[in-house]
A and B are shown apart, each in its own frame.
Chain A
C-alpha cells in the first residue's frame, strides 16, 4: 500500500441525500366546496406514485384565484407533449375524472420530485409546491454536522495507525491488505487490532513453500475486521473471565399458542440503543464492542460490515473506499440503508484513492 495522505473525513449517509428535482404534473382548479369530494375520488382512482407520496395534492392558488389547485395526475416531461389530451402518459382514470366533473382546462405544473430529508430542504422545496416532511427516526438520523476539528484529528490519527498496520502486515496472503484498530473513544484506549490473514487460500501453495508467522493464523474468513472483533472478545474474556456459577436451567417450553403473552400484533416502539455507560452499569462490563470506534485502512466487505453491526460499534471510519467489495457506501451498496437491522453505526470515509 502506497503512502496516503488523509484529508477531511466525510460522513457516508445511508442513502445519497436527495437533490432538488422537479416532476411534471397536470393540475386543475376546483371550487373549495367541491374539493373534498374531488380529492377523495382522485386519491382513490388516480393515486400518485409512491415516489411522490410527499406531494400534497391540493394547494391554494398563488395567482389571486380563490379556487384551489389539485394535482390530477403525473405528466410526461414537457418536451414530449404540450397538452393534456396529447399526453400519452395520462391514465384513463384521469381522463374519466376530468370528463365526469367537466373540469376546467388542465394546466401543466411541476412539483418537487423527491421527499426532503431535512427541515431546510423541506422549507426550500415547499415553496415550489406544498410537500410533507417526515422527520427521520432518531436512530436512523444522519449526524447534523461534519466532525469537529478535534474529532477529525482523532479520526486521522487512528486511521493513520490502521494504514501503517496494513503496510507492515505484508498482506497476510491478501493481494490488498486491510488492517483495523478498535478504539474506546471515552478513554482513547486501543481495544483491539486486526489484520487480514486469509492466507491467500484461493491460491494453491506449492509444496515445500516456507510457512511464515502469518500462516499460523491463516483462515479464509480472517479479514481484518473479524480478526479485530475476535481480539476484542478474547481481551474481554481475559480481563473479566466468566463466572463459574452453573447456568440456570434452560428456558421452559412456552405455554400454548394462545395470546396470553400479550402484545401480539401491537406496534412495537424501538427502545433507544443504550449507551456504553448504561450497558456497563447493567452487566458490569462492556457489551461486545458497544460504543467503540473502528478504524479501517480499507472499506469493509458485506460480511465484515454486518459483523460490526452485530458488535454494536458506534462508528466505522475507513481511508480507502472499495468500489467492488465495499459494503459501506464506497461502491454501489450501503449496509446502513437496511432499516430492519437492530443496530446502526455512523460511517465516515477519507475517500482516499488507492
Chain B
C-alpha cells in the first residue's frame, strides 16, 4: 500500500463528494478532481445518463471544466502538471484520454477489474502497445490506487443495489457488492 499524504486524502475526499453528488442525480457514482500545484482546479462527476452519452465519465467532465476555464486552450490548462484524483480506476477510454493530455499522475480509489485502464485490464506502464500510454496516446503516466477504496465501493454499491434506472432491462438488477464492483463504470451509460 502506497503511503498517501494528508493532501492526497483531502483531494480524494473532494472526489468522493463529487461521486456522492452523482449518486444523488441517479448517475453511476464516480467523481474526480484535477489538482494543480496542490490546489483543486477542476471537478467532475459522471453524467452519462443526463447527457445520454456513454463517454461523459467524471474524468471527461473535469477535463472539460478545466478547458472551459482556459477558453479551451489546452496548453494554458497545463494538463501535464495536473494530478487526477478519481474515486474509481479510470476506464480504458479515460486512461487513453489522460494519456493523450499528458496528465502527470493519477491517484484512484477502488480498482476496476472489468474496464480498468490503469492496470486492471490495460496497464499504464510496461506492455507498450496495449497500455493506456499506448496506441494513439502521447505518453504514459504513473498511477496508484487504494485511497479510500472502501468509500468508493460503498457508493457504487448503493447505486447498484437499486439498479441503474436508465440502463436497459437486460442489465439485471444487481444485488451484491461483488457484482457492483464488477459492473461499475461502463455499465453506466
Interface residues of A (CB under 8 A from B): 199, 201-202, 204, 218-221, 226, 229-230, 232-233, 236-237, 242, 247-248, 250-254, 259, 261-265, 268, 271-274, 278-279, 282-283, 287-290, 301-304, 306-307, 309-312, 322, 324-327, 331-333, 335, 338, 340-343
Contacts and interface: CB of A to CB of B under 8 A. Distances in A.
Contacts of B94: 303
A340 B170 contact: no
A278 B170 CA distance: 9
A218 B72 CA distance: 7
B135 A306 contact: no
18 contacts: A221-B60, A221-B100, A229-B55, A247-B25, A271-B170, A274-B170, A278-B170, A288-B52, A301-B100, A302-B93, A303-B136, A304-B93, A306-B93, A310-B189, A311-B53, A324-B136, A331-B135, A333-B134
B144 to A, nearest CB: 21
A264 B91 CA distance: 24
A280 to B, nearest CB: 9
Given A251-B162, A261-B176, A325 B136 contact: yes
Contacts of A242: 50
A264 B176 CA distance: 6
Contacts of A201: 73-75
B113 interface: yes
B51 A233 contact: yes
Given A254-B154, A265-B178, 14 more contacts: A199-B72, A220-B101, A230-B55, A251-B162, A254-B158, A278-B170, A288-B189, A301-B137, A302-B92, A310-B54, A310-B91, A310-B186, A327-B135, A333-B129
A274 B169 contact: yes
Contacts of B52: 233, 236-237, 288
Interface in B161-182: 161-162, 165-172, 175-179
B9 interface: no
Contacts of B170: 271-274, 278
Contacts of A202: 138
Chain A at the B interface: mostly helix, strand, loop or mixed? loop
Interface of B: 23-26, 48, 50-55, 60, 63-64, 67, 72-75, 79, 91-94, 96-97, 100-101, 113-115, 117, 121-122, 129-130, 132, 134-138, 154, 157-159, 161-162, 165-172, 175-179, 183, 186-187, 189
Contact of B63 (A221, A304, A338): A221
Contact of B189 (A301, A306, A312): A312
Of the listed residues B23, B157, B186, the one surrounded by the most CB atoms of chain A closer than 10 A to its CB is B186
A15 to B, nearest CB: 13
Given A251-B158, A310-B189, A261 B175 contact: yes
B67 A288 contact: no
Contacts of A342: 114-115, 183, 186-187
Contacts of A274: 168-170
A340 B121 contact: yes
B168 to A, nearest CB: 5
A254 B72 CA distance: 41
Contact of A254 (B25, B117, B121, B157): B157
B128 to A, nearest CB: 8
A306 B157 contact: no
A278 B169 CA distance: 9
Contact of B158 (A221, A253, A343): A253
Contacts of B113: 340
Given A288-B52, A340-B113, A302 B96 contact: yes
B54 A307 contact: yes
B169 A282 contact: yes
A219 B168 contact: no
B114 A340 contact: yes
B115 to A, nearest CB: 7
A204 B91 CA distance: 30
Contacts of B154: 254
Contacts of B134: 302, 327, 333
Contacts of A325: 135-136
A66 B92 CA distance: 56
Given A247-B25, A272-B170, A302-B136, A263 B72 contact: no
Nearest to A222: B72
Contacts of A250: 23-24, 26, 158
Of the listed residues A221, A271, A289, A335, the one surrounded by the most CB atoms of chain B closer than 10 A to its CB is A221
Contacts of B79: 220
Of the listed residues B67, B96, B158, B172, the one surrounded by the most CB atoms of chain A closer than 10 A to its CB is B96
